[in-house]
Structure 1
Amino acid sequence: MTDTTRFTGHAALITGAARGIGAATAARLAREGARVLLTDVDPDAAERTAEALRGRGLAVEARVCDVTDRASAEAAVAHAADTFGALDVLVNNAYSCTPDTGRFEDEPDTTWARDLDTTLTGAYRCCRAALPHLAASGRGAIVSIGSVNGVQDFGNHAYSAAKAGLASLTRTLAGHAAPRGVRVNLVVPGTVRTTAWEGRDAQLAAVRRLYPLGRVGEPDDIAAAVAFLASRDAAWITGTTLTVDGGLTAVNAGFRQAVAEVT
């Protein structure tokens, strides 16, 4: 539990925030003083999360937002700016990850379109709507949630391509937005224990052995990184990728283990 107040007076909008990383980020920013608009395509789940956070005395509101719909994304941004009087932080967390088919040539166009439209183009829509407000705030920051899937092969063709695209968008938008005083950065998580892994404890246990730090991530691990990049502690950081993956992409644990087993 943090007791800092880095976001006192700030307003933030988070997409895909009803659960998991998004919900943890909403809690983290609100605990540090931000007023947070928690958005999700599932309005009931978003409201339950917001209600739970308000029960802890945090300034959180919920609103439905479908990032695949331009009007919905723009309405959410406008609501945040109107309700809070400004918008200082945008966190792009909404995503879609559809399991691959057995063979690449059997992948339907709908899978590709859905994953890219939600994960990459959805972030683009939100950035486009939010940028004027972030520039006007004088301390605007965009933090998008990438994935190690955008860096190495962990399966999921469309999702991985979308996450790799977010890294490129982060760099190009950072250059465009810097003269307007807006910073743009990306957090790249490894495996994080969220609802996406519910009922897959055996798989999580197997995956854990591949992490040099000996565990998979928790939503709070990613929320802490987002809070840093969104805060003035990162005032001279833009266009960067912060990898938060327990050492997964830096250390080939499987190789080390294979060598150790025959040594």
Structure 2
Amino acid sequence: MSDDAVRSPFVANPEPHPWRRFVAIGDSFTEGIGDPEPGSPGGHRGWADRVAEVLSRQVEDFAYANLAVRGRLIAQIVDEQIEPAMALKPDLVTFCAGGNDVIRPGGDPDEVASLFESAVERLGSGGATVVIFTGIDTRFTPVFRPLRGRVAIYNENLRAIADQYDCIVADQWALKSIQDMRFFDDDRLHMNPLGHHEVARMVLRALNVPNDLQPMQPDPLPPSTWRQARAHDLVWARTHLVPWVLRRLRHQSSGDNVTAKRPEAVPLGTIKPLV
């Protein structure tokens, strides 16, 4: 068998990872919405907390901050989170932003990418490793399938930015395992614990950090008739879609009056849950 036949894109890394100060910035995805955990700050865990847990077990003096706030648009993230993140002097930053802008009516992926690029340039100026995220392929979900082309354009912009500024790309578009509604919360927008777990595994692969996180499989969907499916759609629209539309009309956000759950870079386990 040739070397090419057994070659893997993920090379085993026997050395400890080099990071000691991890800061995550972004919106609800990075805050961990959809992955409830009453014992965690803010009441949510999420992929970033899961990644930090693995990283912290492998080195001493590891600190973690999560500045992400649900509902934030990219301009808000840039204005509110970039400077505080840099002030924490991280050597590892994860930056996922722009999704809320791209899915809005009239969202321009090129304009969003321009703001994203300026933020990446600033984040990398201090020498930190910067990890950015592509958007998920929405082909599998009827609600967001019409936005697939717009997300794809945004992703190509992000890949060009990553190439220019030497970022690591956490590629959600290529993460086929989560392109299944069983990895999503009832709101059909945020990932559930299974989804956050799979994203954490993907991020650790991108960082080439060995770990013992195993793939998680959802339970099979129960049989459903067309009538039952439509009734479920109506419940979803009343519970999630209508409130979302009303917030847009009222210029409100789910993140109004919400603050970062981990505003300081400290060791895991030293922050008391927010009441």
**TM-score if structure 1 supplies the norm length?**
0.51
Q: What is the CA deviation profile of residues 164-209 of structure 1, one whole-angstrom value per residue up to 9, with x for unaligned ones?
A: 123202321132113xxx33442224132225239xxxxxxxxxxx
What is the aligned partner in structure 2 of residue 20 from structure 1? Answer: 34
Instruction: Specify the SS of the correspondent of 2:115.
Output: helix
Quick one: which amino acid aligns to residue 151 of structure 2? K
Mapped pair 1:160 → 2:148: yes
Mapped pair 1:193 → 2:184: yes
Mapped pair 1:76 → 2:81: yes
- Aligned counterparts of 1:87 and 1:158: Cα–Cα separation in 2: 38
RMSD: 4.1
Higher helix share: 1
Q: What is the CA deviation profile of residues 197-255 of structure 1, one whole-angstrom value per residue up to 9, with x for unaligned ones?
A: 39xxxxxxxxxxxxxxxxx95321112212332x2549xxxxxxxxx9x8xxxxxxxxx
What is the aligned partner in structure 2 of residue 125 from structure 1? Answer: 115
- Aligned counterparts of 1:224 and 1:159: Cα–Cα separation in 2: 26
What is the aligned partner in structure 2 of residue 86 from structure 1? Answer: 90
Q: How does 1:1-80 map to 2 (within 5 A)?
A: 6=17, 8-16=19-27, 17-18=30-31, 19-20=33-34, 23-31=45-53, 32-33=55-56, 34-41=63-70, 66-69=72-75, 72-80=77-85
Quick one: which amino acid aligns to residue 39 of structure 1? A
**TM-score if structure 2 supplies the norm length?**
0.49
Q: 1:166 to 1:226 in 2, by over 3 A?
A: farther
What is the aligned partner in structure 1 of residue 257 from structure 2? Answer: none
- Aligned counterparts of 1:217 and 1:120: Cα–Cα separation in 2: 31
Q: Is the 8 A contact 1:14 1:38 kept in 2?
A: yes
- Aligned counterparts of 1:28 and 1:121: Cα–Cα separation in 2: 32
Query: 1:92: Cα distance to partner?
Result: 0.7
Instruction: Specify the SS of the correspondent of 1:12.
Output: strand
Quick one: which amino acid aligns to residue 123 of structure 2? H
| Unaligned residue ranges in structure 1 (runs of 5+) | 43-65, 99-109, 199-215, 235-243, 247-263
- Aligned counterparts of 1:145 and 1:23: Cα–Cα separation in 2: 21
Quick one: which amino acid aligns to residue 27 of structure 1? D
Q: What is the CA deviation profile of residues 9-66 of structure 1, one whole-angstrom value per residue up to 9, with x for unaligned ones?
A: 1322231233137951221232123512231245xxxxxxxxxxxxxxxxxxxxxxx3
Instruction: Specify the SS of the correspondent of 1:30.
Output: helix
- Which of 188, 193, 199 is equivalent to 1:222? 199
| Unaligned residue ranges in structure 2 (runs of 5+) | 1-14, 36-43, 57-62, 218-275
Q: Percent identity?
A: 11
Instruction: Specify the SS of the correspondent of 2:171.
Output: strand
Q: Is the 8 A contact 1:174 1:183 kept in 2?
A: yes
Mapped pair 1:172 → 2:172: no
